[in-house]
């Protein structure tokens, strides 16, 4: 059997290696138009910043090592220019000598990936304007930085590449500004969780121009101006476009394959395209989202690798299925870690799902063991069914562990209430006996039983100010004095039982503390004494962070705060 694979990196290289492990006799050829057949895309920003010092560390396999191990012919700097399904052949051009030829196949796997989105705006071709997707892109940026020693950079786009590159350029001493059309960084996160990422970026000197649209670029004698809609231009020595990627599917389109979102390649769960004996994997394909079941584009290395394995199994006569993509991701943001899985609250509402959430701020490990740090967790679930939809965590140690547990729970079909029953590893340096994931489960279980009733950040502005409800802050007098939400009176939780007479009976009581734990204790005291009470999800710490983030809409939460 003769197999041709177009494109290496995650999907194509994985498929090639898997086919060889399943079929020692198969003839496998991979055509890759770049000079590198298998490289670490996710490590590219860290090479530019010098964290990864040796460029060879970016190359996971070479054509020689791949042939030595797997007897797979890797032809780099060979571009496939056309697919001919009628005669099961591809046209190929050798980019080094210009030679053109045809290669036949029995089975064809497309792994063309995605290309940086290039807006058609004035100045898009300037030599000081870069994109970052391939090793060649990386070397171009690295060479420019080492040769010209730029003092400033503007990054258009606030996703994974934008944030990672911003950190690395900042580490080189540059003045860095991120311009982003949405009013937040990192779309996998809800706005109320993205604020913690904003804070960490600003803490390290990154300037954020959120809610701003780039309209073009203009060369100047000492750099480039980034032209903004309804705003003054931003001047910099260099600009990097990191506004996202677009499926690179010209070949598939020209060959008559059915296409989907943004001209991505339509495949079934066997990774088969609409044309017999042609498969497709990676960033170029449309998949089903694991949670919503809806069509999606998810450009991540993990899904691409798994899709390559599925395609390889089926090429070799198996019957493997790809269940869909969950979109689990994690990113280093200077000293902080941010991670997400499934869908966020914003996406759930757009999908028409009646969603609820819990927000909590647990320590990364046991409080009595030195060095524990607070993380902020938001777990999203479907009302009534308690189906687990997704989660977001921002913090320091242990973030990746918890998000992976939650991703596993979603894939296993565990309900949000079931998080309380997970038997997770515990030792004081690593966790608490009640792990943060368990704590989220306890909270959701309490909600399901009516033991806990919540109110959220978006509810605060509409709380009556006419005295028909009681607004109660149960932190210490010192904490309350440092800042509180206007209208909330202070009775510390440890004094609450002795001061119940100060709370008018018959009125609903809305309770707040620093993180939501003491206020939960207070609601149980109040409920035990006949009060109808609600706990503020996330606590004052969460409220304070969100309402003071400059990336969000001005006066989005106009209830006010006394400091």
**339-348 confidence digits (pLDDT tens):** 999 999 999 9
Longest alpha-carbon distance in the chain? 90
Which one of the listed residues 42, 316, 513, 533 is annotated catalytic?
42
Q: Measured at the alpha carbon of residue 305, what is the angle toward residues 299 and 311, in degrees to the nearest 5?
A: 110
How far, in Å, CA of 499 to CA of 258, rounded? 70
Mean pLDDT for 34-43 is 75
Dihedral of the alpha carbons of 129, 134, 136, 138, in degrees to the nearest 10: 60
- Name the one residue in this structure whose structure tokens are 């911003």: 166
Enter the pTM of the model. Answer: 0.93
Contact, 20 vs 72, CB < 8 A?
A: yes
Concerning whether 42 is annotated as a catalytic residue, the answer is: yes
Q: Is residue 560 pLDDT above 80, yes or no?
A: no
Residue 297: which of 266, 261, 330, 268 has the closest Cα?
A: 261
How far, in Å, CA of 521 to CA of 508, rounded? 16
Contact, 104 vs 53, CB < 8 A?
A: no
State residue 553's pLDDT score: 39
**118-173 confidence digits (pLDDT tens):** 788 888 888 889 988 888 888 899 999 999 999 999 999 999 999 999 999 999 99
What backbone torsions phi and psi does residue 353 show, to the nearest 5 degrees?
Answer: -95, 130
Q: To the nearest whole percent, how much of the chain has pLDDT over 70?
A: 97
Contact, 514 vs 475, CB < 8 A?
A: yes
Per-residue confidence band for 185, with pLDDT thresholds at 50, 70 and 90: very high
**478-522 confidence digits (pLDDT tens):** 999 999 999 999 999 999 999 999 999 999 999 999 999 999 999
How far, in Å, CA of 212 to CA of 14, rounded? 39
Phi-psi category of 437—alpha, beta or left, where left has phi over 0 and alpha has psi -120 to 50?
Answer: alpha
State residue 562's pLDDT score: 60
Per-residue confidence band for 231, with pLDDT thresholds at 50, 70 and 90: confident
CA distances from 502 to 451, 470, 498 (A): 24, 10, 9
How far, in Å, CA of 437 to CA of 373, rounded? 16
Residue 78, SS3 per DSSP: strand
């Amino acid at each position: 059997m003769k197999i041709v694979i177009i494109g290496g990196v995650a999907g194509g290289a994985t498929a090639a290696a898997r086919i060889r492990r399943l079929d020692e006799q198969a003839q496998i050829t991979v055509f890759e138009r770049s000079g590198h057949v298998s490289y670490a895309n996710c490590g590219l920003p860290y090479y530019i910043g010098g964290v990864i010092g040796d460029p060879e560390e970016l190359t996971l396999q070479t054509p020689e090592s791949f042939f030595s191990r797997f007897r797979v012919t890797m032809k780099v700097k060979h571009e496939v220019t056309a697919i001919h399904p009628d005669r099961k052949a591809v046209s190929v051009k050798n980019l080094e000598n210009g030679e053109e030829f045809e290669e036949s196949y029995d089975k064809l796997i497309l792994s063309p990936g995605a290309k940086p989105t290039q807006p058609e705006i004035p100045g898009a071709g300037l030599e000081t304007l870069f994109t970052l997707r391939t090793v060649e892109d990386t070397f171009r940026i690295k060479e420019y930085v080492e040769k010209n020693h730029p003092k400033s950079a503007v990054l258009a786009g606030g996703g994974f590449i934008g944030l990672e590159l911003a950190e690395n350029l900042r580490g080189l001493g540059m003045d860095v500004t991120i311009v982003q059309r949405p009013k937040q960084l990192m779309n996998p996160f809800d706005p109320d969780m993205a604020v913690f990422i904003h804070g960490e970026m600003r803490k390290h000197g990154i300037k954020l121009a959120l809610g701003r649209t780039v309209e073009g670029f203009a060369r100047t004698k000492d750099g480039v101006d980034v032209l903004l809609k309804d705003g003054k231009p931003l001047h910099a020595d260099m600009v990097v476009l990191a506004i996202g990627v677009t499926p690179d599917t010209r070949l598939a389109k020209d060959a008559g394959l059915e296409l989907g979102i943004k001209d991505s390649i339509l495949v079934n769960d066997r990774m088969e395209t609409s044309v017999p004996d042609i498969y497709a994997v990676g960033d170029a394909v449309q998949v089903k989202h694991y949670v919503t079941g809806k069509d999606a584009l998810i450009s991540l290395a993990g899904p691409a690798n798994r899709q390559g394995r599925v395609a390889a199994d089926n090429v070799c006569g198996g019957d493997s299925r790809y269940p869909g993509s969950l979109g689990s991701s994690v990113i280093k943001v200077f000293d902080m870690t941010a991670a997400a899985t499934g869908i966020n609250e914003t996406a759930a509402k757009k999908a028409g799902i009646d969603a609820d959430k819990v927000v909590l701020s647990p320590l990364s490990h046991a409080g009595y063991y030195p060095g524990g740090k607070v993380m902020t967790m938001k777990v999203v679930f479907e009302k009534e069914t308690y189906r687990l939809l997704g989660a977001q965590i921002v913090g320091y140690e242990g973030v990746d562990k918890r998000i992976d547990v939650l991703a596993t729970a979603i894939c296993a079909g565990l309900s949000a209430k079931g998080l309380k029953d997970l038997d997770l590893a515990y030792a004081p340096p690593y966790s608490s006996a009640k792990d943060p994931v368990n704590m989220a489960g306890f909270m959701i279980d309490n909600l399901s039983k009516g033991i806990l009733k919540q109110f959220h950040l978006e509810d605060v502005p509409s709380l009556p100010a006419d005295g028909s409800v009681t607004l109660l802050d149960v932190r210490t007098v010192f904490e309350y004095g440092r800042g509180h939400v206007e209208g909330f009176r202070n009775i510390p939780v440890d004094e609450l039982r002795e001061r119940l007479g100060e709370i008018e009976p018959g009125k609903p009581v809305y309770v707040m503390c620093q993180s939501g734990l003491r206020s939960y204790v207070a609601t149980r005291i109040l409920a035990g004494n006949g009060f109808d009470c609600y706990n503020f999800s996330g606590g004052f710490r969460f409220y304070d962070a969100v309402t003071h983030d400059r990336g969000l809409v001005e006066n989005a939460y106009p209830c006010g705060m006394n400091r």
